[in-house]
A and B are shown apart, each in its own frame.
Chain A
């Protein structure tokens, strides 16, 4: 039992460090690119990986390694913004439902049921299609369909906690709704919500890349992993590295955040320790 706990802690530190490194890497990515990621040189187009261009070049002769490195910015930041938005909006709606009960709760939860009943990506595709492409619209589209999960979670947590004696005691201390939420409810429900948020980073990164891949996310020439893959998909047979490089970058990032989320969940759940 004890040994398992130490292992979880070690794993948490390990994956936490990896995630932080990835973030730091993307913050400083501009300074880490060996070549200008946007400079075209058709004379070296579609070159296979070599000592000079470790991941090869794309059809405009741009260095793939540099593009994958700079692409981390658009891919990782838009994902984090998306996850932050759905976590915050979902949590606020969930707490409102949990506390208000009755009509407000029923209406908001039925709306969230509608979203939960459809495959999110299909719905997001429709919204992004209506809004038109672009990374901002992709974030809005995915946020619009992804908040219900957090609303459900925050609602059930709020419902469980609002009947506890300390909430009642604090009512008897004359505590108002705002203080009740921020001092007594939120700190006690935020743990599982954050775990879910971290676990969602990987999924959201994939879905954002998916929208970009379908031309509804980041637009070229902006380097973003999903749109880079989309851009190169016709060359999968002739120049596979152009598709593979951003694909592997997505894979590695998603893995890191998923493993971090899993460990965080194990760590937060005493039974799993």
Chain B
């Protein structure tokens, strides 16, 4: 299987040269194979989100390379990148403009890519239904629905352009356990349906969930990759002290 995403020696320094300088990433490398699900774990501040935000260009790397589908990310325009990579955020409700209907938020990328109003509406309703929401939710506002429902809409939005890579940055952390399970079931359904057409980067604090949901895992600490490999293998019998401690602290 080919790598759909390769992250090579990423470095990221915030507030360079100032007192508040943070070396958020130090030589971070990992890869995501087509059709696989890669979990990223590590304590708070270890650089998980920063990695995701560099891949999605919300943050600039200081150094290093991101390779997507065999091409250097620097050769890919924003427009094209966002058809390939999408992200689901930790805060479902806040990830929608409070003054815009959910359906319009979900369909925004379609409209930006020149899809007509009527076709957008049709496709958005289909996406909502695929993500387990009634199509009438098109006309709802973010504050009128629950966090879980908003996250379903956010997943629908991320899927609108059939991306090859879906990044979930703590996508289930703000939801309660039953809703978390529903979202995971939804993601599993999406993986089953699309097979090797979708690969997921799953950032989470929930190690049990990562073990259950992900094929591979990357363990990060203080901006560095501690180890990476088969999820079961690493979570069940890691040789690294940091990983052992991390797992012991939550299990």
Q: Give A contacts to B, CB under 8 Å.
A: 164-166, 168-176, 179, 183-184, 187-188
**When the two chains form their complex, are residues A166 and B82 in contact, meaning their CB atoms are under 8 A apart?**
no
Residues of chain A lying within 8 A (CB to CB) of residue B157: 169, 173
A-B residue pairs in contact (CB < 8 Å), sample of 22? A165-B91, A165-B94, A165-B95, A166-B94, A166-B96, A168-B58, A169-B87, A169-B89, A169-B96, A169-B157, A170-B97, A170-B108, A171-B58, A172-B58, A173-B82, A173-B109, A173-B112, A173-B160, A174-B79, A183-B97, A184-B100, A188-B99
**When the two chains form their complex, are residues B99 and A169 in contact, meaning their CB atoms are under 8 A apart?**
no
Q: What residue of chain B has the Cβ atom nearest to residue A185's Cβ? A: B97
What is the predominant secondary structure among interface residues of chain A facing chain B? helix
Residues of chain A lying within 8 A (CB to CB) of residue B95: 165-166, 168-169
**When the two chains form their complex, are residues A175 and B108 in contact, meaning their CB atoms are under 8 A apart?**
yes
Q: Tally chain B residues at the interface, Cβ within 8 Å.
A: 26
Which 3 A-B residue pairings sit nearest by Cβ, starting from the closest? A173-B109, A165-B95, A173-B108
Residues of chain A lying within 8 A (CB to CB) of residue B160: 173
Residues of chain B lying within 8 A (CB to CB) of residue A176: 112
Contact of A172 (CB < 8 Å), options: B86, B90, B96: B86
Q: In this complex, which of A170, A171, A175, A183 has the most chain B Cβ atoms within 10 angstroms of its Cβ?
A: A170
Residues of chain A lying within 8 A (CB to CB) of residue B23: none
**When the two chains form their complex, are residues A184 and B97 in contact, meaning their CB atoms are under 8 A apart?**
yes
**When the two chains form their complex, are residues A187 and B99 in contact, meaning their CB atoms are under 8 A apart?**
yes
Report Cα–Cα, A183/B108, bound state, in Å.
11
Residues of chain B lying within 8 A (CB to CB) of residue A175: 108, 112
Q: What residue of chain B has the Cβ atom nearest to residue A166's Cβ? A: B97
Report Cα–Cα, A184/B99, bound state, in Å.
8
**When the two chains form their complex, are residues B98 and A188 in contact, meaning their CB atoms are under 8 A apart?**
yes
Residues of chain B lying within 8 A (CB to CB) of residue A172: 56, 58, 82, 86-87, 109, 158
Report Cα–Cα, A166/B106, bound state, in Å.
11
Q: Is B78 an interface residue when CB atoms closer than 8 A count as contact?
A: yes
Q: What residue of chain B has the Cβ atom nearest to residue A165's Cβ? A: B95
Contact of A174 (CB < 8 Å), options: B82, B96, B100, B154: B82
